[in-house]
Homo-oligomer: A and B are copies of this chain.
Amino acid sequence: MVRVGVNGYGTIGKRVADAILKQDDMELVGVVKTRPDYSALQAVRRGIRIYAPDAESARKLEAGGVPVAGTIHDLLGQVDVIIDATPGGVGAKYKPLYEEAGVKAIFQGGEEADVAEASFSSLCNYEQAVGKRSLRVVSCNTTGLLRLICTLNKAIGVKSVRATLVRRAADPRETKRGPVNSINISPVKLPSHHGEDVKTVLPGLDIVTAAVVVPTTLMHVHLVNLRLARPASLDEVLEALQSTRRIMLVDSGRTGIKSTAELIEAARDAGRPRNDIPELAVFKDSITINGDELILFQAVHQESIVIPENIDAVRAIMNMASREESIRKTDESLGLGTPLW
């Protein structure tokens, strides 16, 4: 039983914690939380031990009715691996603390790539991550792109990728981020960092991405244009995409779903926890093939898509299971592939 801690209890941290509780080969020792808000109170109610980043936060948590099990130092003394789910850039500041404690560390995609020994995506480079001291699970958009690329690469081969990312502006819980009425060209100078981030896992891939930010909180949408290694049929592409539970095909003709709003509504109706969709959602009817060119729309649920990869990263870094075994355990425990309609 590998002992895991989670530093940070926001959008990603709380989902990672829930996912660890569902694994039969991991123990959640506790989470680090800074403020005594509704999510801290919920964690307490659910029996999750809360640790404080420092004495000042510990005082605030206790004053807010949140019992504190200790500081982050106490947590690090009891775990084999820490999953850093602090805000982007903050993980790098914690890195020396993790190293000092002799604890393996898994960072998120909000950190620079050099924060860890390797960037990680389960379907692409699980084996290269085995036994490393630190890993970085790439961000939500990069995870979505890599799931598609590595799945097609394995089955058919991918020569180049051009993608336009239409990004959600904020997570549903974030009340201070904008824009509320603008399309932000982000960044204006191409390429966007997403394609570069893909290369931290697939060096040498010919990929260029561009991104805009639009006023929505639900999901990102990508228009992906791939050049395959050879001409392929629709059936070959569909067969490849259906070979993994990490990808979900959305049949708009059958379901009527043509928007992120309807996808999330289907997840709500299906009883998915928090209406999460950890699968990459590929719009089946958008798949267009011209010889070796493949074009499609896909949607990325930014709050949950990296959760399976974080769980696999624990197994890879601790050398607990083969890639196939880890992915199978993760997918089953998290219910990936359970039908939304």
Contact = CB atoms under 8 A, between A and B. Distances in A.
B341 A41 contact: yes
A269 B39 contact: yes
B64 A261 contact: no
A172 interface: yes
A268 B274 contact: yes
A266 B175 contact: no
B341 A255 contact: no
Nearest to A218: B172
A181 interface: yes
Nearest to A257: B38
Contacts of A340: 38, 42
How many copies of the shown chain assemble into the complex? 2
Contacts of A239: none
A42 B180 contact: no
Interface in A257-271: 257-259, 261-262, 264-266, 268-271
A44 B175 CA distance: 37
A174 B266 CA distance: 12
A189 interface: no
A183 to B, nearest CB: 12
Given A38-B340, A341-B42, A269 B274 contact: yes
Interface residues of A, number: 39
A45 interface: yes
A256 B38 contact: yes
A179 B232 CA distance: 44
Contacts of A339: 45
Interface in A34-85: 35-39, 41-42, 45, 64-65
B173 A270 contact: no
A39 B175 CA distance: 30
Contact of A181 (B175, B180, B270, B273): B180
B255 A38 contact: yes
Contacts of A39: 265-266, 269, 341
Counting chain B CB atoms within 10 Å of each CB, which of A36, A268, A269, A274 scores highest? A269
Contacts of A269: 14, 38-39, 42, 274
A184 interface: no
26 contacts: A36-B254, A36-B256, A37-B255, A37-B257, A38-B257, A38-B262, A38-B265, A38-B266, A38-B340, A38-B341, A41-B341, A42-B270, A42-B340, A65-B254, A172-B264, A172-B265, A173-B261, A173-B262, A173-B265, A174-B261, A175-B258, A175-B259, A175-B261, A268-B275, A269-B274, A274-B275
A152 B224 CA distance: 57
Given A175-B261, A181-B180, A269-B14, A35 B341 contact: no
Contact of A255 (B41, B215, B274): B41
A274 B339 CA distance: 16
A61 to B, nearest CB: 12
Nearest to A262: B173
A54 B154 CA distance: 49
Which 6 residue pairs of A and B lie closest in terms of their CB atoms, listed nearest first?
Answer: A37-B256, A38-B341, A173-B265, A38-B255, A41-B341, A268-B274
Interface in A1-36: 14, 35-36
